[in-house]
Structure 1
């Protein structure tokens, strides 16, 4: 199958949490023998910020971890869509693309035989409804939504006639347990500060418990304002800045546990959508503690895959138990790893995509090239 994918960025994960899943799916599709061509805009905000802060070396490292992947940078004003889309069987457009490009690709769909899907992996359908409503999806064959609530919004609002829930998942080629020579600290947290959507929660479930317990902790991420950096310093937490997503497994192996503190929109308006962070932690075999959110779509088994803390005091107790090595910690971590491997890998999501392709009449889904597939997955 020839697939053309329009990503915001393949090369950069700077403030771009979807990069993990997008890269993992593309790798899986290539491993199965598909022709996968990925486009991303030149001077996109994620890549531009990455290079500005860390130089071209950051991009060179990407290729070391993802030797099968590459992207073509385009100029929206000059891209030749007729040439780009020629002979395509399936085209997927990620929702961080410009409205004008989304519309132009839809117009080409009217004149062609390829199938066209829009891929939504964010909370903007709730928080920026007018912007999402402005996407012209009239010629699209449907929407891939990373949660049931997002799917229902598209259908209820009439933004699309067909939609499928397509959850994110772990790229287990990269995200897997790694050997460790010993712990460098107790807690590591990987996440961006953002637009103050979870400031209160970060203090209650992360910063304050670490400070009160005197744990050795490190936090990675971008867009941390000065007041946030000061709060981390006051709590004795080291700030590590940007961490390449593909290096997260190496970092997880050096700490006793991690935490999940979801952003406000996911807790209040989009129950059941955990974002990529829990998938990453569980796939790497690091114990996971979490502030409250509703696993309404039953992706995991709370209590067996991870532990919920309903408030800061409960989080402190759980942190103490993890550091003390209580027996449940090992059992929980092993259960979580099996949950990922059995249900939530990028290979599972490609299987689901193949089923959608069959519904749409894309009948030339490539079978796995067994020799190449084994070589890539080892």
Structure 2
């Protein structure tokens, strides 16, 4: 197949957690012999922040982890859709795109024979409904939603007539356990502070337990206001600023445990959607303890693949147990890694996407994999 993907950014993961999954999907599709072209805005906020703060050399570093990963930059005013979409079989439009681009590609689809899907990987359908409702999906063939609750919302609101659940997953080409050569601390957390929607949770499930247990910990991420950096210092936690997503596996290998603290919209309104962070941790073989979230879609086995802390007190107990009980911790790590490799890799998601393509009427001979990747990951 020829696929054209419109992403906010393929090259930058600065405050752009979806980059992990999007990169993995592109590389998996290419490995199967599909032709893939990615388009992103030339002045996208994520890439602009990355290069202005850390330099163009970070883009060269990316190639070491994703050889051959390429994108195309466009300006909306001069974008030639006839040229860009010529010969396309499937077009994916990520929801972090301009409303005008979404509308223009939809209008182009009306006069052409490719299939067009809107790909939603964010909580804005719940938290910013007016903005999401403003996307014109009239001529789209459907929506790929990263959780059942999002899929059902699109159908219930009449924003689309067809929708499929398409969860994020781990890119196991890059996210896999690294050999532990040295230990730099007890706990590491990778995540952005954000818009204060989980400040209380971060104090309860991360800062306070680390301080009370006297753990050596480090935090990576962006958008940390002064008061957040001060709080980290008061808890004795080192702040490492932005960490390139592709380097997370190497960092995980230097620590003994990590935690997941989901943002409030996911806990309250989006049960079953864990975000990419648990996939990353489990794929890298680091013990994971999460703050409460409802695994409504049975992606994992809580208590077996990872531990769940219902409050700060439980988080302290779980951290102590993980750090002290090596044998049980190793069993949990093995279970989590097994779950990823059996169900939640980008290869599994491309398998699912190819089935959706069949439902959309794309010719089977175009969908058929030209590599052994699909068979290698089959259960």
Q: TM-score, normalised by structure 2?
A: 0.97
Decide whether the 8 Å contact of 2:143 with 2:164 is kept in 1.
Answer: yes
Decide whether the 8 Å contact of 1:8 with 1:44 is kept in 2.
Answer: yes
SS of 2:329's partner is helix
Question: Which residue matches 2:237?
Answer: 237
Decide whether the 8 Å contact of 2:32 with 2:372 is kept in 1.
Answer: no
CA RMSD of aligned residues (A): 1.3
Decide whether the 8 Å contact of 2:2 with 2:87 is kept in 1.
Answer: yes
Question: Which residue matches 2:368?
Answer: 367
* TM-aligned CA deviation for residue 107 of structure 1: 0.5
Question: Which residue matches 2:253?
Answer: 253
* TM-aligned CA deviation for residue 68 of structure 1: 2.7
| 1:285-344 deviation per Cα after TM superposition (whole angstroms, max 9, x unaligned) | 000000001000100000000000111011001111111134321111000000000000
| Distance in structure 2 (CA, Å) of the matches to 1:6 and 1:244 | 22
| Distance in structure 2 (CA, Å) of the matches to 1:303 and 1:328 | 11
Question: Which residue matches 1:124?
Answer: 124
* More off after superposition, 315-324 vs 87-96: 315-324
Decide whether the 8 Å contact of 1:354 with 1:365 is kept in 2.
Answer: no
* TM-aligned CA deviation for residue 45 of structure 1: 0.5
Question: Which residue matches 2:214?
Answer: 214
Map 1:78-157; keep pairs closer than 5 Å: 78-157=78-157
* TM-aligned CA deviation for residue 8 of structure 1: 0.4
| Distance in structure 1 (CA, Å) of the matches to 2:274 and 2:374 | 29
SS of 1:241's partner is coil
| 1:164-191 deviation per Cα after TM superposition (whole angstroms, max 9, x unaligned) | 0000000000000000113110000000
| Distance in structure 2 (CA, Å) of the matches to 1:281 and 1:95 | 25
| Distance in structure 2 (CA, Å) of the matches to 1:28 and 1:326 | 35
* TM-aligned CA deviation for residue 62 of structure 1: 1.2
Asked if 1:49 corresponds to 2:20, the answer is no
* TM-aligned CA deviation for residue 371 of structure 1: 7.3
Map 1:12-31; keep pairs closer than 5 Å: 12-31=12-31
Q: How many aligned positions are there?
A: 375
Q: Runs of at least 4 residues of structure 1 off by over 2 A? A: 364-374
| Distance in structure 1 (CA, Å) of the matches to 2:111 and 2:152 | 29
* More off after superposition, 116-125 vs 182-191: 182-191
Q: TM-score, normalised by structure 1?
A: 0.97
Question: Which residue matches 1:324?
Answer: 324
Decide whether the 8 Å contact of 1:33 with 1:366 is kept in 2.
Answer: no
Gaps of 5+ in 1: none
| 1:237-296 deviation per Cα after TM superposition (whole angstroms, max 9, x unaligned) | 000000000000000000001000000000000000000000000000000000001000
